[in-house]
């Protein structure tokens, strides 16, 4: 048991070291959401949403969710990467269960997602998002939870893919619908009715809603409800990811 735990920690640590050495990954993951924020909010700044919230403010948690979506889903490529560079073999012959390997990677990816979200959150200070300390402390676990769900999904996909091309292809099928049906850009009740059911199976919709509840105080569902649904999604995706790793060769 102790051994498994140490293995998980070793894998987690490796992911963080790799992250800290890939400056470009850090930069792009912060620059691109900022760009979105600037472009969108300046273009639509005249709009206010429902209860008098400015669009810029409304948008912020959405783009925060997007940051996490893109970086976390893409984290799945690290499995493909490890396989291509042969490092996967080094982990697979170690006396650590496949499930622990999955957990090491998933926790590594979620930690990275959370760090990126946090950096972005602080940049949000510039956009006048009221960042009070207790809020931030509550937001962190939510960021982690959202990351965990999406990273697990990414790892599930990655462990079935042999090539980068294949991975990227599948990625596009996931990211765009997940993003547009998450309520990141506009309130979900503006969606045509036939699309609405799709938002119920989109974890990011609940993630963004939870972030809104915490950061700007308006949300579709209650925070508790969002967290419950996110936890359910997390168990599901973790189970799927761990299963995929178990049959990994």
Partner 1 sequence: MKSVIEIKELTKKYGDLTAVNRLTLSIREGEFFGLLGPNGAGKTTLISMLCTLLEPTSGSATVNGAHVVSESDKVRQSIGVVFQDPSLDELLTARENLEFHGRMYGMNEEEILKKSDDVLDLVELSEQSHRQVKTFSGGMRRRLEIARGLMHTPKVLFLDEPTIGLDLQTRNHIWKYLLKLKEKHKMTIVLTTHYMEEAERTCDRIAIIDRSKLVVLGTPSDLKKSIQGNVVRIKTKNGKKELAKKLERVRGVTYVDIYEEGIAVSVTHGSSFQQILKIVSLKKFAVESIETHEPTLDDVFIHYTGKEMRKDEPYSDAKLAWKAGVR
Task: Closer to partner 1 by CB, 92 or 140: give it.
Answer: 92
Q: Report if residue 160 touches partner 1, rule: CB under 8 A.
A: no
> Which among 6-14, 115-123, 126-134, 219-227 is the span making contact with partner 1, rule CB under 8 A?
6-14
* CB of 93 or CB of 137, closer to partner 1: 93
- Euclidean distance between the first and final Cα of the chain, in Å? 23
Binding mask 230-249 for partner 1 (x = CB under 8 A): -------------------x
User: Is the sign of the CA dihedral 108, 109, 112, 117 positive or negative?
Assistant: negative
Closest approach, Cβ 32 to partner 1, in A, equals 22
How far apart are CB 100 and partner 1 at their closest, in Å? 10
Looking at beta carbons only, is 39 or 89 nearer to partner 1? 89
Q: How far is the CB of 18 from partner 1 (least distance, A)?
A: 5
Contact status: 29 vs partner 1 (CB under 8 A): no
**What are φ and ψ of residue 37, in 5° steps?**
-60, -45
Give whichever of 9 and 160 is closer to partner 1, judged by the CB atom.
Answer: 9
How far is Cα 119 from Cα 200, in angstroms, rounded to an integer? 29
- Which residue from 85, 76, 66, 70 is spatially nearest to 108, judged by alpha carbons? 76
In order of 68, 122, 143, 209, 216, the CA distances from 132 in angstroms are: 21, 11, 16, 18, 11
Q: Is 18 in the site for partner 1 (CB under 8 A)?
A: yes
Q: Where are the alpha helices (DSSP H) in the chain?
A: 2-21, 23-43, 55-74, 77-84, 87-92, 98-124, 133-158, 164-180, 196-200, 203-215, 223-246
- Does 223 help bind partner 1 (rule: CB under 8 A)? no
Tell me the C-alpha distance between 5 and 19, whole Å. 21
H or E element: which one contains 48? strand 48-49
Residues 66-105 interacting with partner 1 (rule: CB under 8 A): 84-87, 89-97
> Is 25 one of the binding residues for partner 1 (CB under 8 A)?
no
Residue 83 DSSP symbol = H
Cβ–Cβ under 8 Å, residues 182 and 173? no
Q: How far is the CB of 12 from partner 1 (least distance, A)?
A: 11
Please tell me whether residue 10 binds partner 1 under the rule CB under 8 A.
Answer: yes
Q: Which residues bind partner 1 (CB under 8 A)?
A: 2-3, 6-7, 9-11, 13-14, 17-18, 21-22, 84-87, 89-97, 249
């Amino acid at each position: 048991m102790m051994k498994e735990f140490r293995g998980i920690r070793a894998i987690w640590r490796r992911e963080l070291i790799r992250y800290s050495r890939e400056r470009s990954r850090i930069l792009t993951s912060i620059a691109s959401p900022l760009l979105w924020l600037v472009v969108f909010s300046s273009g639509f700044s005249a709009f206010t949403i429902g209860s008098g919230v400015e669009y810029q403010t409304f948008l912020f948690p959405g783009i925060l969710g997007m940051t996490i979506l893109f970086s976390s889903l893409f984290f799945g490529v690290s499995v493909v990467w490890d396989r291509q560079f042969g490092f996967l073999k080094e982990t697979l012959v170690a006396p650590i269960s496949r499930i622990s390997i999955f957990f090491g990677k998933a926790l590594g990816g979620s930690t990275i997602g959370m760090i990126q979200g946090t950096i972005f959150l602080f940049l949000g200070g510039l956009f006048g998002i009221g960042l009070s300390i207790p809020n931030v402390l509550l937001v962190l676990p939510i960021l982690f939870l959202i990351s965990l769900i999406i990273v697990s999904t990414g790892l599930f996909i990655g462990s079935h893919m042999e090539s980068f091309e294949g991975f990227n292809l599948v990625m596009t099928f996931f990211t765009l619908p997940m993003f547009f049906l998450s309520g990141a850009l506009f309130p979900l009740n503006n969606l045509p009715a036939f699309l609405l059911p799709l938002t119920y199976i989109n974890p990011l919709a609940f993630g963004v809603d939870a972030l809104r509840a915490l950061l700007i105080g308006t949300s579709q569902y209650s925070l508790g409800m969002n967290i419950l649904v996110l936890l359910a999604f997390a168990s599901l995706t973790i189970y799927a990811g761990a299963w995929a790793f178990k049959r990994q060769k």
